[in-house]
Each structure stands twice: as structure tokens, then as C-alpha cells.
Structure 1
Amino acid sequence: MTKYVLWGSCCEDVVTKRSPFREEHLAGLAQQKADGILVTIGPTQDLTKVFGIYEATDAAQVRHLIESDPYWVNGIWTEYEVKEWIQAI
């Protein structure tokens, strides 16, 4: 499997706006982790960005997971970029 890095941006007032979607979002991430696709994910301390690492068959699979996430669907994540990552160490 290839590793991919996610960098994304969050909307303003993210703590309030994400609240109705948080449980569904976290459940989906937990399932991705259990399935061995999601390595790690989380926001920056200032809650303006999100960073994640995935192990997937291709970038399209990662983009599908991101675009199916309630945070993307409901505008909590406002933009994202996925790059193939070479883990040196």
C-alpha cells in the first residue's frame, strides 16, 4: 500500500460548526483506522488546518474517503490536498 498525506483547511468557527457532525465524523475515522487505511489524523493546535496520513491503494481512494466525510460534505473542511508520501525513516 502507498502512503498519502492529507493537508486541509477548516472553516471559521470550526468548534461550533462541527458539533452536529462530530460523532459521525469520528465514527467514520475510527472505521478507517480499524480497516487499516487511516494511520493518523488531526487538526493543528489553532484549528485552522487538518493533517492526516493514509495507507491506500491510490489517491482516488483517499479523496473518496475525504469527500464522503461529514466534515467535507457539510463545509467544515473547506479545501484539501492529497500527496503521495515517501516515508524515509
Structure 2
Amino acid sequence: MALFVLTYGYHDTPLRAERREEHLAHLSKLLEQGSLVAAGPCADLTAGIIILRAEDEQAARALVDQDPYTRLQVTKDRTLREWRVTVGSLG
């Protein structure tokens, strides 16, 4: 399994608050399935980062595409990249 880092910003839309619980439920489901390593907003709340575990980029992209924030265009400037940990570990 490979690791993938998703970074994104947010559109200025009330959907971010309205659909937050659905977004968090999606992330919780991914965590239970072993596909989510970590997720959260940046300290200034203008962007977010999600670290995923998937077989390949296509599988990681499918996980991102299922997120309500992605489907509803709450997020913008999404970048998904494979990440190789060189120092440290993510358990």
C-alpha cells in the first residue's frame, strides 16, 4: 500500500459548515477501513490535508471523489500526490 497526500483549499460557501458532519463521517469510514492515516485543517482554517493509504493513485482518487466536500465542490485546488516517508513512521 502506498501513501497519498491530498492538499486543498476551500471555496467561500455555506456548504462547508452545512456538510461538515457528512465530510467527517466519510473520513471516519475511511479510518475504520484502514484507508485514512490522518486528516485535518491547517491552523488558519484556509486549507486542509488528508493522508490516505491506497493501492495506487486511481484508488486514492476514488476515495477523494467519494468525499461530500469533493462532490459538492466545497474544496478547491485539490492536489493528490504519492508520498514516500523517508524518516519517521506513520504506524
- Computed over aligned residues only, the root mean square deviation of the Cα atoms, in angstroms, reads 1.3
* Equivalent residue number for residue 70 of structure 2: 72
Q: Deviations over 1:54-84 (max 9, x none)?
A: 1110111111111221111112111211111
TM-score, normalised via structure 1 length: 0.87
What is the rounded CA distance, in whole Å, between the counterparts of 1:76 and 1:54 in structure 2? 19
What is the correspondence of 1:1-89 to structure 2 with a 5 Å cutoff?
1-12=1-12, 16-89=14-87
Distance, in Å, in 1 between the alignment partners of 2:77 and 2:60 is 14
Count of aligned pairs between the two proteins: 87
- How far 1:33 sits from its partner (Å)? 0.5
List 4+ stretches of structure 1 deviating above 6 A: none
Give the gaps of 5 or more residues in structure 1: none
Q: Distance in 2 between matches of 1:31 and 1:63?
A: 16
The structure where helix makes up a greater share of residues is 1
What's the % identity of the aligned pairs?
33
TM-score by length of 2: 0.86
**1:39, 1:21 → 2: CA distance?**
22
Unaligned segments of structure 2, at least 5 residues: none
Amino acid at match of 1:74: L
